[in-house]
Amino acid sequence: MHKNRQKRSNSSGSGASRIWVFSSHDCSNYKDKVVIVSYNILGVDNVAKHPDLYLHVPQKFLEWDRRKDLICEEVNRYNANILCFQEVDRFNDLDNLLQKDGFKGAYKVRTGDARDGCALFWKEKMFTILHEENIEFQDFGLRDNVAQLCVLKMNQHQSESGSHAKPSKITPMRSRSLLVGNIHVLFNPNRGDIKLGQVRLFLEKAYKLSQEWGSIPVILAGDFNSIPQSAMYQFLASSELNIQLHDRRRISGQLEYPSKGREIRVQNKAIARCPVWMPVSKQLLHTWSDEELVLATGNKGVTHLQHKLNLCSAYVGVPGTRRTRDSQGEPLATSYHSKFMGTVDYICVSYRHTGELVPVRVIETLPIDVLRRNTSLPNERWGSDHLALVCELAFADNHKGLPFICKRRIPIE
């Protein structure tokens, strides 16, 4: 059993190390494992366009030449097999660096004037890509954001598993395939209709593709620009949402009501105020127009959203501590700059499949008090204003009824 077991990652010093924490359930019999990273790496152009977010960050910590090395060094410390990056506007730089470490990548740039996009990398020795599909949300009237969907097959023989216990020799493996999705959802907090539409379409296409390839497991990663207390998160976690119960402008929970922020305290000292989604009285609810309903649901007159994927957050599936997790088990903060501290990034895993994936361990995010020692990210150690999410997943054959407390409705309180 790995209960309460912790192991430090190779990054250390100044109280800013991140540690592996393990599932409380025995995963020792699961042999075929994969380590996946989701990371909004902070686009170079976005740094230039939004200097107000990094007023107190020394310029040297914002330089791309320095940050790209930090990012690549970091993901290699985790022995990652799959990387899902968002806000990528210097793909060739990353590709050149990561190729040296055995990665192969695919890139999809946003439509419109923006120069950044999503990039997905995989270890070439471990995986063969069988199918690649991109979503341009502009085609559906849902702005210029994009998403990636890739079907990867684990090679029959490989020498690195991503496990904490390195194999001493090449081991035979069963043929395994999985679908990996990578997305960066629209930021605009007021456009919950578009944000819901993007996520709805992403989930629909992921489910359809997984079925076409034999009901293979699904991993969905990215920056969803929605906090864990939001209606958007409820939709992801519970597979359904009645959008008429929510104000379009509050779907993602990014905008807090005055004096309603959740105060985070360490050693009885208030150190941060994180936005919390708060219910709105019926009188204040925004009335959804027909156009907004179509954008959100894909159909005129439909007000109830559903998706067919059974999703579990990898972090919710592995117990953490109050220093780094909220009451639901999600990280307290995955993003930090001068105008925001909170969680908007997730790795979601489907289950109730044949050969399903279950979370074995995750890399904890940094405690709030550690983050607050700096005015914002990036800093000397971390190369983005987001923290990478990292989890190790294992194929668990014929595993009935996951013991993890993943599949539940998230109350909006």
Q: Mind listing the pLDDT tens digit for each residue in 90-107?
A: 999 999 999 999 999 999
Q: Work out whether the CA dihedral 272, 40, 239, 330 comes out positive or negative.
A: negative
Q: Mind listing the pLDDT tens digit for each residue in 212-263?
A: 999 999 999 999 999 999 999 999 999 999 999 999 999 999 975 433 444 4
Q: Which helix (H) or strand (E) holds 106?
A: strand 103-109
| CATH class (in words) of the domain with range 26-396 | alpha beta
Residue 267 has pLDDT above 90, yes or no: no
In this prediction, residue 16 carries a pLDDT of 66
Q: Mind listing the pLDDT tens digit for each residue in 170-202?
A: 444 457 999 999 999 999 999 999 999 999 999
Rounded to whole angstroms, the Cα distance separating 397 from 411 reads 31
Residue 271 has pLDDT above 50, yes or no: no
- What stretches of 253-338 adopt beta strand conformation (E)? 262-266, 269-274, 304-306, 311-313, 335-337
Residue 268 has pLDDT above 50, yes or no: no
Q: Where are the domains of the chain?
A: 26-396
Q: Which two tokens stand for residue 129?
A: 């890509």
Model pTM score: 0.87
